[in-house]
Structure 1
Amino acid sequence: MSLGDDLDSRVRGAAMAWLRRRSTPENPVVSRAELLGFQFEGRTFPLVDNQLGIRKPQGFSAALSILTTYRSDGRSAPYEDAVGDDGLLRYKFQGNPSHYTNEGLRQAHLQGVPLMWFVGVQAGLYLPFFPVWITAVEEAAKQVAVALEEAQRMMPVEGPVSPLERRYAERVTQQRLHQPVFRQRVIQAYETSCAMCRLRHRSLLDAAHILPDRHSLGIAAVSNGLALCKIHHAAFDQNILGIRPDFVIEVRSDILEEIDGPMLKHGLQDMHDQPISLPRHRADRPHRNLIEERYEMFRSAG
């Protein structure tokens, strides 16, 4: 092992150990400032590039990290990452395919080294995924295939993939990347607060879909999401309460007539006719058409 290889492995190990300590269930997102200011053996060693999406430190042959920039609903990222036909994620080359950062991705694949992937959930805030691996370089499409867990590294990328393998990869991608990113983007948009009761404990908050996944409009976009505490999320999904098109909560009439303990009264009945809190940024607010569609579902179920 060369001195360069030793430094590479020490940096990767130290960075991922720090992320395990830093990224907790209560506070899983990290700021750009923290990533740029990471300390390694007494000196600053940035984990992301100041301008580029791929970080390949000087003296390293392989890339250290990749980054996906946050874009609000309706705005396309400069490089669109996608899921391939095999269910594995793809990360696009950035700029000239022969640029040193893209060569760093090729070397990460050849060497089989683990990387960190930072996915933007708000401007300057990222949800880290690590370790991830580059499992293939697809030169014609100017992209690489990315595995989110060890088992995905064994999946064939070239040639036919069985339906079972594809479903497995899609499930991993959905559970390990898309759902956590959707959750954090929604919770960040609502400033870590339940839209109904204003509870501010992140570990007790969910990202609720206004229209469910199975609905044709039930996409994982912030405008189709609400930050709700677990009680109000369940009540919303069970049509115990709904949200009118004017963003005011409506509790089902039979629930209003019930007599029970303080949880029913203060947790549900007192929500009736109360406005929900909305994100500051207009692009993050619930789409009115989705709210109207969901309200009709609530009325039909009552």
Structure 2
Amino acid sequence: MLKTIHGSALPWSAIAEGFVCGTEQVRFASAAQGIFKPAQMRGVLSVKTVVPKPGGRVWYHDQLESDAKLATATDTLAYAFKGTNPDDPQNRLLRGAMDGRLPIIYFYGVAPGAYEPIFPTYVVDWNPSDLSVKLAPKPVADQATLWMPPGAEERRYALRQVKQRLHQSSFRERVVAAYEGRCALSGLPELRLVDAAHIIPDSDEELGQPDIRNGICMSKLHHAAYDADLIGIDPDHHIHISERLLELHDGPMLELGIKGLKGQVIRLPREDQLKPDPERLALRFERFKKAA
């Protein structure tokens, strides 16, 4: 069974493990190929979008091409051919998936080594002049409708849902990776107990984007306290605790886990381009002071 890292993203190790069909082990995808057909199948099983490892830095901020395409998509997702030859066998597999109305899995990379599976997804346009296809997720499919690609209205609805999920997942994965999987306040290193906290809520259209600099990795406890303005972080990265919590006396978790953080400096990513945006921190800290 596929297992998530945190949120709903899958580690590559789970995808590479595959599944058992009869007596054979079948892979879900290939590390070397974006368009994948297992030897045991006649048609394509999956496609994937890879997020490069941090060495290239292209997965930070809005530099990732797939993110830019996702932002402007309205009813389908563009997926590039392999190379420049439309008649390459792998590209013809995509044409076969469209002609056969074949449901496939789209493993969308949200961080290095982490993928969101989108299923069922259908190839609804094969365009050799643009060297690309259009992929359309379907919101719901059962045995009776699995071989029926979504209509126009279904495509728009499904893509809205997928975009929200992908934005949330990519934001979480990238922020947690920037902080090396540790809570910036307590140092807790357990991936299943940390979140990516927004500095400016995503409801703010101007500054609430899922930019890595709009996030801080926090344990679920500290994330909840931060969202409730019971914890504040100033532009110099110092931790502030609301008077409401400081006046409470109720066990070691409160005393050590929250109140004991007052005045400390949060743990920061090693590289400057990953650190919290000072402008966002200042705006959010003003909100904390008003709440206090």
TM class, shorter-length = 0.7 to 0.9
Aligned partner of residue 150 in structure 1, secondary structure = coil
How many corresponding residue pairs?
A: 274
Per the alignment, residue 238 of structure 1 pairs with 228
Quick one: which of 64, 70, 76 aligns to 2:63? Answer: 76
Quick one: which of 209, 214, 222 aligns to 1:219? Answer: 209
* 1:80-229 correspondence to structure 2 within 5 Å: 81-82=69-70, 86-96=74-84, 98=86, 99-123=88-112, 125-137=113-125, 139=127, 142-147=132-137, 149-151=139-141, 155-157=150-152, 161=153, 166=156, 168-215=157-204, 216-229=206-219
Q: Is the 8 A contact 1:88 1:169 kept in 2?
A: no
Quick one: distance in 2 between partners of 1:105 and 1:289?
45
The RMSD of aligned alpha carbons is 3.5
Q: Residues 199 and 83 from structure 1, CA distance in 2 versus in 1: closer, same or farther, beyond 3 angstroms?
A: same
Point out where structure 2 has 5 or more consecutive residues left out of the alignment. Answer: 52-57
What is the CA distance between 1:47 and its match in structure 2?
1.9
TM-score (norm 1): 0.74
Q: Is the 8 A contact 1:73 1:223 kept in 2?
A: no
Aligned partner of residue 105 in structure 2, secondary structure = strand
Aligned partner of residue 222 in structure 2, secondary structure = helix
What is the CA distance between 1:206 and its match in structure 2?
1.9
Aligned partner of residue 273 in structure 1, secondary structure = coil
Quick one: which of 262, 266, 269 aligns to 1:276? Answer: 266
AA aligned opposite 2:122: I
Q: Higher mean Cα deviation, 57-66 or 213-222?
A: 57-66
The Cα offsets for residues 1-35 of structure 1, whole Å up to 9 and x where unpaired, read as xxxxxxxxxxxxxxxxxxx344465995323x675
Per the alignment, residue 285 of structure 1 pairs with 275
TM-score (norm 2): 0.76
Per the alignment, residue 11 of structure 2 pairs with 30
Q: Is the 8 A contact 1:256 1:269 kept in 2?
A: yes
Q: Residues 101 and 76 from structure 1, CA distance in 2 versus in 1: closer, same or farther, beyond 3 angstroms?
A: farther
Per the alignment, residue 48 of structure 1 pairs with 30
Q: Residues 101 and 291 from structure 1, CA distance in 2 versus in 1: closer, same or farther, beyond 3 angstroms?
A: farther
Q: Is the 8 A contact 1:49 1:55 kept in 2?
A: no
AA aligned opposite 1:224: N
Identity of aligned residues (%): 29
Point out where structure 1 has 5 or more consecutive residues left out of the alignment. Answer: 1-19
What is the CA distance between 1:55 and its match in structure 2?
2.6
Aligned partner of residue 195 in structure 1, secondary structure = coil
What is the CA distance between 1:194 and its match in structure 2?
1.6
AA aligned opposite 1:288: P
Quick one: distance in 1 between partners of 2:25 and 2:248?
63
Q: Residues 29 and 39 from structure 1, CA distance in 2 versus in 1: closer, same or farther, beyond 3 angstroms?
A: closer
Q: Higher mean Cα deviation, 287-296 or 269-278?
A: 287-296
Q: Residues 77 and 171 from structure 1, CA distance in 2 versus in 1: closer, same or farther, beyond 3 angstroms?
A: closer
Q: Residues 39 and 282 from structure 1, CA distance in 2 versus in 1: closer, same or farther, beyond 3 angstroms?
A: farther
AA aligned opposite 2:191: R
